[in-house]
A and B are shown apart, each in its own frame.
Chain A
Amino acid sequence: MTGWYMLTIIGRDQAGIVARVTAVLYEMGCELGETSMLRLGGNFSMMVMTHCDSSQQQIQQQLEPVIRDLNLHLHIDAIDGHLHDHIDPNMQVSVHGADQAGIIARVTAILADNQFNILDLESDVGGTAQDPVYVMHIVGTCLKEVEQVSAALAPLHAAGIQIRVRSLDTLIG
C-alpha cells in the first residue's frame, strides 16, 4: 500500500523531537511533503504530510520507540493529499485586542458568512497574565471586496476588537 498520510505528533517540548521523528521516517523511505511544526503553550506540535510505501501499522511500529522515549502522542490518518496544490490567498484579516472569550469564534463566524475560506490562521496571546493581549492573523480567499468584509466585521469594533482587512496581491515576476 502506498499513499499519503498525515501524522499528528504532540508532546512536551524538548530538543530533538523533529530530528528523531524525521530520521525514522527517512530511514523507512518516507518522503515528507508540507508540514507545520510549532511550539504551543510549552508543547511541541507536528503535522506532517508524508508519502510512504509502508502501511499505517508499519509507520506506527517504526515510530513507536521514539514516541515512547520522548513521551509523545502520535496519530496517523491516511489522507487524499497531493503536493503542488497551493492556493494563493487574496485577503488578510489581522485582529488584536484585549483577550476575551470567543474572539476566534465571532470573527470566523462572520468570515464564514462571507464565504471567506481560511488557508492559514495564526493566533497568540501576549501581554501579561493580568492584561492579556490577543493577536490573530488570518489569510484566505474571498470573492467579496475588502470593504464588504471589513463592514461585516465592523460590529466587533464595539467589543474593543481591532480588525484590519487587507487585500493581498501576490506579485509574480
Chain B
Amino acid sequence: MAVLPILTYPDERLKQVSEPVTELTQERLAFIQDLEATMRAGPGGVGIAAPQVGRFERIVIVDVSSRKNIKHHGRLVLINPEITEWEGMAIAREGCLSVPDFTGNVIRAERISLSALDEAGQLRQIDTEGYEARAIQHELDHLDGLLFLDRLVSRRMDLYQRKVYQK
C-alpha cells in the first residue's frame, strides 16, 4: 500500500469529471487500497475521491466511524455511486484534503439515499443522514469536478438563517 500525492486547488484537474468504472480489475482494487491509505494518512480525513489523487474514475471512500455519537455504515467503498433521493438541508463546516488551510460553511442535504457498487462488484443501496451523508455528498462532488469552495455560503449567513436545524 502506498500513500499517493494529493492534487491541491487550484490544480485544474480537480475540475475534471470522472468516468464510470467498467471493471474491477486487480490493479483497480490495489489502487483502492492505496486510496484508502492516502485518506487515512491525512489528518482527520473522513473521505477521499479518486480524482483527488489524479485518477478520474468514479470511486470514493468514506469512513466517519472515528466520529463520536453519529450513525454510520463504517468503511464504505462506493463505486459508480448515484444519489437517488435528497431530503432536508443543513449547514456545516467543511474542509478538503485538496484545499489546505481553509474551511467554510456548506449547505448539504440532511438525508440521502444512494446506490453504488462495493469492492466485490455488488450493488448496494444505502440510506444515510447527517455527518456521513455530508461526507458522501462532498466526495461525490469531486467526481463531478466540484469542490466545497463551489458551494460555500457566507460565514455570516447562519446568523440570519430563519429556520433552525436541530440535530
Interface residues of A (CB under 8 A from B): 38, 84-86, 88-89, 120, 122, 124, 135, 137, 166, 168-173
Contacts and interface: CB of A to CB of B under 8 A. Distances in A.
Contacts of A86: 101-103
B97 A173 contact: yes
Nearest to B142: A173
B96 A172 contact: yes
B14 interface: no
Nearest to A122: B159
Contact of A172 (B42, B156, B167): B42
A122 B157 CA distance: 11
B156 A122 contact: yes
Given A86-B102, A120-B155, A173 B93 contact: no
Contacts of B135: 171, 173
- Which 7 pairs across A and B sit closest by C-beta, in order of nearness? A173-B47, A170-B93, A173-B138, A172-B95, A171-B94, A172-B44, A84-B101
Contact of A88 (B47, B95, B158, B159): B95
B40 to A, nearest CB: 12
A173 B62 CA distance: 8
A84 B67 CA distance: 26
A173 B138 CA distance: 7
B158 A137 contact: yes
Contacts of A173: 45-49, 62, 94, 96-97, 135, 138-139
A88 B103 contact: yes
B138 A171 contact: yes
Contacts of A166: 167
B167 to A, nearest CB: 8
A170 B102 contact: no
A19 B158 CA distance: 27
Contacts of A168: 92-93
B131 to A, nearest CB: 7
Contacts of A169: 67, 92-93, 131
